[in-house]
Amino acid sequence: MPLRCVGRCLTCGELSDDAASANAAQMWCLKHAERTHHGSYELSAFKSFSATMADSTASGSRPPASVRRIRRRARSGRRAGLGRAVVGGR
Ligand SMILES: [Zn+2]
């Protein structure tokens, strides 16, 4: 999904339709300024995506295997760090 851009008037809060480019969103701001004389705008970019559980049969109490692997790696990393500190303290 590509980035989408949206302009927002900071005076009245009106939003542009989301556009494929920043230029298109800024054009909406210019037209809004011409019509309303509102002078402050915010331009935002966002990206939509879908999120689903990779393993839909996993129960809620047990995280997916990929998460368990990451947690195990984090724990072993901390242990390795302590080992280096002991060696350095000689
Ligand atoms: Zn406005």
Q: Is the pLDDT of residue 80 over 60?
A: no
Report how far ligand 1's centroid is from the alpha carbon of 17 (Å): 14
Is residue 85 pLDDT above 80, yes or no?
A: no
**pLDDT at 25 (0 to 100):** 96
67 within some domain: no
Residues 6-54 pLDDT 10s: 999 999 999 999 999 999 999 999 999 999 999 999 999 999 999 998 8
CA nearest 64: which of 73, 76, 54?
54
Tokens read off for 36 = 């309303």
Does residue 71 form part of some domain?
no
Residue 44: beta bridge partners? 6
Residues with CB under 5 Å of ion ligand 1 are: 9, 11-12, 14, 36, 38
Query: Alpha carbon of 75 to those of 59, 62, 70, 72, 78: distances in Å?
Result: 23, 18, 9, 5, 5
Indicate whether 20 belongs to any domain. Answer: yes
Quote the domain boundaries for residue 39. Answer: 4-46
Q: Which residue has the higher pLDDT, 59 or 78?
A: 59
Residue 88 within any structural domain of the chain: no
Domain membership flag for residue 17: yes
Number of folded domains that form the chain: 1
How far, in Å, is the centroid of ligand 1 from the Cα of 45?
A: 19
Q: Is residue 11 part of a domain?
A: yes
